[in-house]
Amino acid sequence: MLTLHFAPNSRAGRIVWLLEELGLEYELNRMDFHPKDLKSDEHRARHPLGRVPVLDDGDVRIWESGAIVEYILARHTDGALKPNPDSPLFPQYLQWFHYCEGMVMPPVNTIVVQTVLLPPDRQNKEALDQAMRLLSRSLAPVNEALGGKDYLIGDFSAADIMLGHACFMSNRLGCVGEEMTDLLAYVKKIEVRPAFQTAINA
Ligand SMILES: N[C@@H](CCC(=O)N[C@@H](CS)C(=O)NCC(=O)O)C(=O)O
């Protein structure tokens, strides 16, 4: 049985979304997004930084959301949600899959820290403005790539679970400009997927 260690409003939602899209059975260990749970000895024993998501699969324990997605696709599907390595779509798939944590999430992290996590007297407007500019620059190529397509590589893939979730979070933070029309339409498409709805409400 797959067990997902989860907290709401976090990247752990990506894994629920994936498991739901694939129709796999899993158990959810639902924690609060709060140091009392995430920084507990019990959870630090699962993840050295006390973060989510963490997946247990029998004797296997794995953390880092992209790695978990790849692990599930490799061990629990017959090649679903991912083009074959010899497909012309494969390089784009890899690029957008990794662009998520590589380019989009770093400024999202800073924005969350500077607006939600730090008390007002410790927030730094310069750091926030810089992260907003970087996020906007990082999202522009995504908006461009989505022109004329439903999803990042055409058909829905695990790259959408990674980067689509990051686009959803960026939009929720109010960081997607109204000129990014293709990106906004993409987020709307994602939001109505039943598996995404289950993940967001988990
Ligand atoms: N790159 C990691 C990031 C993990 C991460 O930072 N998770 C956040 C939730 S989105 C977390 O657990 N934060 C709790 C904390 O920083 O204390 C991944 O993709 O799994």
CATH number of residue 20's parent domain: 3.40.30.10
- Residue with CA at minimum distance from ligand 1 atom 14: 51
| Residue ranges of the chain whose pLDDT lies below 50 | none
Residues 118, 160: Cα–Cα separation, whole Å? 30
Atom of ligand 1 nearest to the CA of 9: 10
Q: What is the predicted pLDDT for the residue at 154?
A: 97
Residues 189 and 96 in one domain: yes
* Boundaries of domain holding 108: 90-193
Sign of the dihedral through C-alpha 106, 100, 6, 56: negative
Which amino acid is it at 155? D
pLDDT at site 40 = 98
Instruction: Specify whether 188 is located in the same domain as 94.
Output: yes
Q: Is residue 201 part of a domain?
A: no
Q: Do residues 38 and 113 share a domain? A: no
User: Ligand 1: which residue has its CA nearest to atom 12?
Assistant: 51
Three-state SS annotation for 77-114: CCCCCCCCCCCCCHHHHHHHHHHHHHHHHHHHHHHHHH
Query: Do 46 and 19 share a structural domain?
Result: yes
Of 19, 52, 76, the position where a domain reaches its end is 76
Which residues make beta-bridge pairs with 28?
A: 4
**Residue where a domain stops, chosen among 49, 76, 103:** 76
* pLDDT reported for residue 30: 98
Residue 161's pLDDT is what?
Answer: 98
By the 10 Å C-beta count (0-12 exposed, 13-18 middle, 19+ buried), 6 is classed as: buried
Q: 171 and 95 in one domain? A: yes
| Claim to verify: residue 31 and residue 106 sit in the same structural domain | no
The whole-number pLDDT of residue 173 equals 93
Distance between Cα 46 and ligand 1 center (Å): 13
Kindly report the pTM of this predicted structure. Answer: 0.96
Q: Ligand 1 centre from 12 Cα, in Å?
A: 8
- Nearest ligand 1 atom to the CA of 51 is 12
Q: In what order do the strands lie in the sheet with 2-6?
A: 26-30, 2-6, 54-57, 60-63
Same domain assignment for residues 50 and 124:
no
With respect to residue 199, please indicate whether it lies within any of the assigned structural domains: no
Whether residues 101 and 17 share a domain: the answer is no
Using a 6 Å CB cutoff, which residues line ligand 1? Answer: 10-11, 38, 50-53, 64-65, 101
Q: Are residues 94 and 140 in the same domain?
A: yes
Q: 85 in a domain, yes or no?
A: no
**Residue 50 CA to ligand 1 centre (angstroms):** 8
Note the pLDDT of residue 8: 96
Query: Residue 71: its pLDDT value, please?
Result: 98
pLDDT at 43: 98
Which residue's CA is minimally distant from atom 13 of ligand 1?
51
Q: How many domains does the chain have?
A: 2
**What pLDDT sits at residue 19?**
98
Strand partners, 153: 155
Distance 35 CA to ligand 1 centre (A): 12
Residue nearest (by alpha carbon) to ligand 1 atom 17: 51
User: Do residues 49 and 63 touch, judged by C-beta distance below 8 A?
Assistant: no
